[in-house]
Amino acid sequence: MHSLFWKIFLTLWLSIVGFSAAIGWLNDKLARQQWAEEPANTFSRGLVRISQRAQQALLSEGRTGLRNELLTIPRMTRSHIYIVDADGRELLRRDNALQQLTERRTPMDTTEFEDAGGDAFTIYTVSRSPPSTILAPGPEGTALRLGAAALISALISFFLARSLATPLEELRRASRRIASGELGTRVGRSMPSRKDEIGQLAADFDVMATRLQAMHEANRRLLSDVSHELRSPLARLNVALEIARQKGAGRIESEVDRIALESQRLEALVNDVLGLLRESSDSAAGKDEEMDLSEVLGDLVEVVNYEAAEGTPGIRWTSPGASPFRGDRELIWRATENLLRNALRHTDPQKGVELDLKTNRRKTRVTVSVRDYGPGVPEAELNKIFEPFYRVQESRDRDSGGHGLGLSIAANAVQRHGGRIEAANAGDGGLIVSLSLPLTADA
């Protein structure tokens, strides 16, 4: 018996039936014990009184009066008393019933008396046997109650077992479909009204399936995008090599420079892809260390401004003072660095980039904002810029050295810290990207 349905059904049903049978047996035993311990049999005394009334009716009214007296007795009680005349005939013509009692040697008490005319009569009284409540007919019988209990408990056990086993079977089938590659499988639609633990399990299963599907599609898209990104510089490398072969030695300086440039771009792309995979990996445990976030950002601004073009404002930053933070310093550094370098590529060189650090009033969250003065991003595409290899203007990003991975790396680093990243267009032009990081576990 490997089916969960049958395990639940039989366990419940047999438990209920067994409990009912035990109660019935105990009830029968107690009833028999009570009968045995009763000092005077009330039923037997009743039969004696009936016999006395029958004799009085016979003496006062004759055979007809005796018959009428017997007919006034309840039928169940009447079956325990028989009156036979001198010819051996039962007064109510129940000779066959009396004969069966005699053949079964049923214990009977006899009383003989005569009517006014001297005719002899014999009264046979059958004492009631000890009660057998298990086999007794009628509503008072335990056998009937046991049968009803078995039937009702079977129905209840069936529906309860089915309500538990059916959704679990649906989950099993869904998990097999997902394992076979059907990542769009969901189970919540088949049990929308369940609010119990099984319904919650189905909802969690759907969340898991959705994340698996999203991860699978993201990996496929990433592989496709990487292949596309590698194809272009490799094609340009091949063209440069072919031109160099045609020119011959001594006239290939420009082609060599081109090959070097494309090689650098390939190296940068590979590094960015590896960085994205590293940030996306849940198995990579980040360091947990105390740091001054303001100091980290100050050091980063110094490094990036050192590489900025001369005569430009670069990154404008004013430290707000000590800002304690606990997390992975390297992840925070890389996330903010990608935002700053991305902003520098797109901002107006004469206006530079603004970096801001603020803590909310309750001291539960800290927000790092990077604002550029570039063309901004169309509103419909604001949520897409954090996807790998996504570009608003593809040709411009390639020319500026970007591969569309910087914001993705930043987003993954922020998510690893339990934070969120958002982008919004500034009212007077440019893009503002904000990193919101929790300072406490419940922030």
Q: Is 362 exposed, middle or buried, given 0-12, 13-18 or 19+ CB atoms closer than 10 A?
A: exposed
* Pair 402, 242: CB distance under 8 Å: no
Local structure of residue 292 (DSSP, 8 states): E
* Pair 123, 110: CB distance under 8 Å: yes
3-class SS of residue 284: coil
What is the phi/psi pair of residue 371, to 5°?
A: -125, 125
Q: Measure the CA–CA gap between 405 and 269, rounded to whole angstroms.
A: 9
Q: Measure the CA–CA gap between 90 and 107, rounded to whole angstroms.
A: 18
Q: How far apart are the first and last CA of the chain?
A: 50
Q: Measure the CA–CA gap between 63 and 196, rounded to whole angstroms.
A: 76
- Spell out a b/e string for 245-279, using b for 16 or more CB atoms within 10 Å of the CB, else e: eeeeeeebeebeebbeebeebbeebeebbebbeeb
Let me know how long the chain is: 443
Tokens of 392: 């608003």
Q: Measure the CA–CA gap between 78 and 50, rounded to whole angstroms.
A: 10
Identify which of 272, 301, 297 has the alpha carbon closest to the alpha carbon of residue 408.
272
User: Which residues, including other chains, have CB under 8 Å from residue 103's CB and lie 6 or more apart?
Assistant: none
* Pair 431, 377: CB distance under 8 Å: yes
Does an H or E element contain 392, and which? none
Tokens of 132: 């057998």
The set of catalytic residues is: 228
Does an H or E element contain 62, and which? helix 42-71
Q: Measure the CA–CA gap between 259 and 262, rounded to whole angstroms.
A: 5
Q: Measure the CA–CA gap between 321 and 315, rounded to whole angstroms.
A: 18
Considering Cα of 197, then 202, then 203, then 205, what sign does the dihedral take?
positive
